[in-house]
Amino acid sequence: MITIKQALSKSDMKAFVKFPFELYKDNPNWIPPLIADELETFDATKNPAFENAEASFYLAYRDGKIVGRTAVIINWAEVNQLGKRKVRFGWFDVIDDIKVTEALLEKAFELARKHNLDNVEGPMGFSNLDKTGALTMGYDEIGTMITWYNYAYYITHFEQLGFVMEKEWVESVFPLPTAEMMAPIQKADAMVRKRYGLKSIGFTRSQDVMPYVDDLFRIFNDVYAKLSSFVAVSDAQIAYFKKKYIGLINPEFIKFVADENDHIVGFCVCMPSMSNALKKANGKLFPFGFLHLLKAKKHSDEVLFYLIGILPEYQNKGVTAVIMTAFYESFKANGIKTCIRTPELEENHSIHNLWKNFNPVVHKRRSTYIKYL
């Protein structure tokens, strides 16, 4: 018999966070999150996403043992501003038993009926800054710190329960360009700088990045507003992002592009790959986890292109050449060998066009799944 219990106590929430550690303990491609970081994400007193969202957390039990979990979420900004009458589910993990999946997702449908909403979609988090999508291709590829991993049977469960694919994201990889590949890009960089009066801005200290982060999200909100599922990032979320992530990023991996009046027109944030470090940490910063992360920050030979944004009026004008040229020397100096593009919506053709000259290879796909009441 399957029993669904709402996680309310601290011990319940810790069990919620730790269930995937058991489910994926023998899977080399699953990347464990930091337990303390996950608990903070689910804390309404700490995570500003709760300003516009409500969430409940559920554990599935069978014979006294946890066999599944999910978060059930309503993003009220999405409902009220975009008219998306949706309940989200995320942080979804189950054993290979469709009855467990069905019982957990019924909690999402109960919430939808309670608020007269008309569909359930997931896996997805509270907002656009959270992890999104179930893996549909690339199960034999190691995950990243900003994506979820899942077994293939998750997709089978969704489809058998009447869910259909809603949004699709692609992830791609390409080696650090050779000097020969960079030559025409560097030539384009010089031409674009001269034609539009542009310059790149780089950093060596994290504190020097901070004054630019507000501009980063101003552009981010502007660029992604045209996407059907986008809800703007709030000031409180920006402050939270600064505190949570800037310290993890090698400041040399953050670049801005400004015009001749010092107005920011584009940015790109890259992060060293923390995958192997997080596997060694196994959910804990102490006593040695932080040392593994610190080593990865300085010595990883892989880099994730985490966020990128170019103002619409500067798109298709070669600004990518300015950004990539600025990164190239930093990447070489830091021993980077591989560039990884984190999830990009399949429909976001302007983003895909940024990378076409680097011949990226799609190595993963992921999707959200939706079902209407």
**Per-residue pLDDT tens digits for 193-235:** 999 999 999 999 888 998 888 888 888 888 877 766 677 888 8
* Predicted pLDDT of residue 32: 97
* Predicted pLDDT of residue 229: 67
* Predicted pLDDT of residue 214: 87
Instruction: Kindly state the helix (H) or strand (E) to which residue 373 belongs, with its residue range.
Output: none
User: Topology of domain 177-336, per CATH?
Assistant: Aminopeptidase (3.40.630)
* Predicted pLDDT of residue 336: 95
* Predicted pLDDT of residue 207: 87
Query: Could you tell me which residues come within 8 angstroms of residue 139 by beta carbon, excluding any fewer than 6 positions away?
Result: 29, 151, 152
* Predicted pLDDT of residue 237: 86
Domain map of the chain by residue range?
Answer: 2-170, 177-336
* Predicted pLDDT of residue 95: 98
How many angstroms separate the first and last alpha carbons of the chain? 26
> Do the two domains 2-170 and 177-336 of this chain adopt the same fold?
yes
**What φ, ψ does residue 147 adopt, rounded to 5°?**
-135, 155
β-strand partners of 171: 364
pTM attached to this predicted model: 0.93
Query: Using one digit for the tens of pLDDT, what is the confidence trace for 215-226?
Result: 888 888 888 777
Residue 138 corresponds to which tokens in the numbers above?
């690339």
* Predicted pLDDT of residue 248: 74
Name residues of the chain where pLDDT drops below 70: 227-229
Question: Cα–Cα distance between 353 and 75 in angstroms, integer?
Answer: 31
Report whether CATH 3.30.360.10 matches the domain 2-170: no
* Predicted pLDDT of residue 228: 63
